[in-house]
Structure 1
Amino acid sequence: MYCPNCNSENNDSAKFCKKCGTPLKKEVSHKKIINSINDEKSSKDDITKYIIIALIIIAIALAGAFAYIGFGNHNDDGQTQVQNNASSSPNPVQSTQSSQPQQSSSAQSAAMDILGGSFSTGSSLSAKTYASIYVGSQHSGEKVIIQIKYSRDGSSLNNGNMVPKTVDSSGYINVKSADSFKYYPDFAEINLFDTNKNLLDTQSVSLSPDSSTQTF
């Protein structure tokens, strides 16, 4: 160690200069200073590395958590969509059943035709005219509306009222005229309707203009 005052060399352990008595300060070698700085820098570098590693681990953990949550939501949305589609999609069996037309009384009457019958003009002009219209025993019990217009030499004898009737067990619709006629009719127009007044069948019948029972 050298004295800062007289530059005399002294022992490293000396507290005062042996020549001039100047108090000596223990010098720290340049190497020790560098080593100390390096140690401090190394320590700081280690801390920085630890911080960076910790941040990387935290980032990876957060990314994994977000990915898991996102995947779970995606599955939930997909499952919900499938359930919604399943609930909104019509049952094919039910759709087929609902799309099939149900046979109503009108639909049954739609297949009804006038197959024949008879007219009875009575024994005198004061008697009413009777008609028995045959539509088939398969229609027994069905309700219909029937209209019969009578005429003689092209002149109408009645108004042709529409009368509700029920087919009897033998398949006949029996109708009598509302009034007696001034003349025996020579023509009859039969119109058959369902209960909604949809025309099912119509038939024209020529009659003998006298008192008799006539079939067609």
Structure 2
Amino acid sequence: MKCPNCQSENSDTAKFCKKCGTALSKKSINHEEMINSMGGKEKSGDNNTKMIIIALAIVAVVLAGTFAYMFMSGDSNTSGGATSIAPAAKNTTKVNDNSEKTATTSPEKTAQSTPKTSMSILGGSFSTGSADADKTYAQIYVGKENAGTDVIVQIFYSRDGNSLNNGNMVPATVHSDGYLYITSADAYLYYPDYATIKLYDSNSNLMDTQSVSLSPTSGTQTF
């Protein structure tokens, strides 16, 4: 045991310090043992406390990271998904509503604004007078089913490859007999030997075209 006076080591059975002669009482022994015992326990307790604190800190960090990830993931799905889906559904409904409204409330207007594009030149004739200076008359047959339809007719006349007119675009209406009657704007110095007919709808969309070779004489020639 240690001497409480000079801290010299003595045997456990010694009653006096071999160095300074201080009495070594059992009280001193018990006090020393108690200090050593308490010191060891306190040291062990401190180590255990530190380990518990470290473990709790690790658990707290893991839990905080997990909650943060779940919160960010959930917020992203909620804001992104709702924003991208809702407007799409709204726009689709709006388009469908507009289509139904047009179909149910204004069918007549839609039909009138859509020109007929299936009309064709089925035949006809050209007539000239007894003199070159007479106008040329064209009768173009497009079918009785087209009677009353508004169209535009353009006819180019030529002789020996030379144009005789500018091909004016003439508005016309199909007669009840299915014919279009078109008179040339001017008289020509020569009988035409070739004619090109172009048929348009009322919106100037080309529907049909036909070229006709003519004999450069007076009279009526069919095609």
Match of 2:217 in 1: 209
The structure number with the bigger radius of gyration is 1
The aligned amino acid for 2:175 is: S
Q: Larger helix proportion, structure 1 or 2?
A: 2
The alpha-carbon distance between structure 1 residues 68 and 129, as it changes in their structure 2 partners (threshold 3 A), is: closer
SS, match of residue 185 in structure 2: coil
Match of 2:59 in 1: 57
1:190 aligns with 2:196: yes
Aligned-residue RMSD, C-alpha: 4.4
TM-score scaled by structure 1?
0.59
8 A contact 1:157–1:181 mirrored in 2: no
**CA displacement at 1:177 relative to structure 2:** 2.6
8 A contact 1:165–1:173 mirrored in 2: no
Identity %: 23
Structure 1 spans left out of the alignment, 5+ residues: 13-25, 98-102
8 A contact 1:128–1:178 mirrored in 2: yes
The aligned amino acid for 2:35 is: I
SS, match of residue 48 in structure 1: helix
Query: Mapping of 1:110-121 within 5 angstroms?
Result: 111-121=118-128
**CA displacement at 1:186 relative to structure 2:** 6.8
Give the counterpart of 1:165 among 149, 167, 171.
Answer: 171
The alpha-carbon distance between structure 1 residues 182 and 8, as it changes in their structure 2 partners (threshold 3 A), is: closer
Match of 2:107 in 1: none
Q: CA offsets, 1:39-70, max 9 Å, x none?
A: 22233234223323321331232132133234
1:147 aligns with 2:155: yes
The aligned amino acid for 2:170 is: P
**CA displacement at 1:71 relative to structure 2:** 3.4
Structure 2 spans left out of the alignment, 5+ residues: 1-13, 100-112
The aligned amino acid for 2:154 is: I
Residue-pair matches, total:
184
Give the counterpart of 1:128 among 135, 142, 147.
Answer: 135
**CA displacement at 1:118 relative to structure 2:** 2.9
Alpha-carbon distance between aligned partners in 2 of 1:120 and 1:129, rounded to the nearest angstrom:
6
SS, match of residue 28 in structure 2: coil
Query: Mapping of 1:73-112 within 5 angstroms?
Result: 73=75, 75-76=77-78, 79=81, 83=85, 87=88, 105=115, 108=117, 111-112=118-119
**CA displacement at 1:35 relative to structure 2:** 0.9
8 A contact 1:2–1:10 mirrored in 2: yes
